[in-house]
Amino acid sequence: MTRTAEIAQEVTVAIGDAPILLRCQDEGFWAIVEQRYSGFVSEDAEPVCAFDVEVARPERSLSPVRELLVQNDGDAWRLERGDFRVEWNSRTGSGHILQTATPYAIDTVLRIVHTIVQATRGGFLLHGASAIRNGRAFLFSGVSGAGKTTISRLAPKDAVLLTDEISYITSGAGGYRACGTPFAGELARPGENAAAPIERLFFLAKGPDNVTEPVEAGEALRLLLRNILFFADDPELVKMVFRSANDFLGKVPAYRLTFYPDEQVWDLIQ
């Protein structure tokens, strides 16, 4: 991390395969970055985009938009919510963030930018937990209350927890990989900065016993699309996400995992 009294400090936050450089002069902002993203700071990663971050004075009104707004005109993107306003050019990678001094603002901006970047690369962000065991990654997806945090909390010591909230999936020549993220859920701690090939996708459900069963292709696609994070109303990108989900399920088997909240469920995950 570069720190200078005269110019903005900067750091590259390397999540997945899309490092993002942040520049800012506000010490409060860097306290947020160091608390939430310290395990994902990289000194040598080549950023895919760079943002100048301005922290607004408490009395300054950022945007009349209270609900999330994500719009684009070609490569020019505008992201707004009550606590941030962003202008970003996805072709050049340069952008500006005006935000309040809260971790929720920069967290949301990073998630949105990563979903847009991954849409063009064949990957996606998934509402779900993920972990590495025996060198392979397992995804656990489901709606709120399905058990993502529970199964993460029950993970054995030999499992590397990547996230209990937002799973990051990349696509490359070697297939699909799951990457750790700092986006924490109820466990309130970031995942490990690690990655591994994806072995299996589980759709979670709670029940009296631990049972796995294959999910039919059409239902698997419907469930997967329901849990993929995507905020932009861009027809071409939406098509890309649909194709990515379909291709993913052609290479990664999907199962329904009905489980009782006991650590023995992990006997089925290896």
Identity of the residue numbered 122 = G
Whole-number pLDDT of residue 62: 72
Distances (CA, A) of 238 to 63, 76, 227, 232, 266: 26, 17, 14, 8, 35
Q: Are 95 and 85 in contact (CB under 8 A)?
A: no
User: Residue 247: which residues within 8 A CB-CB, separation 6 or more?
Assistant: 122, 171
> 106 — alpha (psi -120 to 50), left (phi > 0) or beta?
alpha
Residue-level length of the chain:
270
Q: How far apart are the C-alpha atoms of 252 and 266, rounded to whole Å?
A: 19
Helix (H, G, I), strand (E, B) or coil at 18: coil
90 alpha carbon, distance to own chain's centre: 18
Distances (CA, A) of 65 to 76, 78, 82, 83: 19, 12, 6, 9
For residue 195, report the phi and psi dihedrals to the nearest 5 degrees. Answer: -150, 155
Q: How far apart are the C-alpha atoms of 197 and 174, rounded to whole Å?
A: 8
CATH number of 124-268: 3.90.228.20
Instruction: Label the pairing between strands 254-259 and 175-179.
Output: unpaired
Domain regions of the chain by residue span: 9-119, 124-268
Whole-number pLDDT of residue 144: 78
Interior angle at CA 260, CA 257 and CA 262, nearest 5: 115
Q: What is the pLDDT along the chain (270 residues), one digit of tens a residue?
A: 444 444 679 999 999 999 999 999 999 999 999 999 999 999 999 999 999 999 997 656 676 767 899 999 999 999 999 899 999 999 999 999 999 998 999 999 999 999 999 999 999 999 999 999 999 999 999 877 888 999 999 999 999 999 999 999 999 998 999 999 999 888 778 999 999 999 999 999 988 999 999 999 999 999 999 999 999 989 999 999 999 999 999 999 999 999 998 899 999 997
Q: How far apart are the C-alpha atoms of 107 and 168, rounded to whole Å?
A: 14
Q: Are 123 and 171 in contact (CB under 8 A)?
A: yes
Q: What is the DSSP letter of 2?
A: B
CA nearest to 121, candidates 249, 221, 244: 244
Q: How far apart are the C-alpha atoms of 26 and 42, rounded to whole Å?
A: 20
Q: How far apart are the C-alpha atoms of 114 and 181, rounded to whole Å?
A: 11
Whole-number pLDDT of residue 65: 66
Whole-number pLDDT of residue 48: 97
Q: How far apart are the C-alpha atoms of 162 and 165, rounded to whole Å?
A: 9
The tokens describing 83, both together, are 């606590």
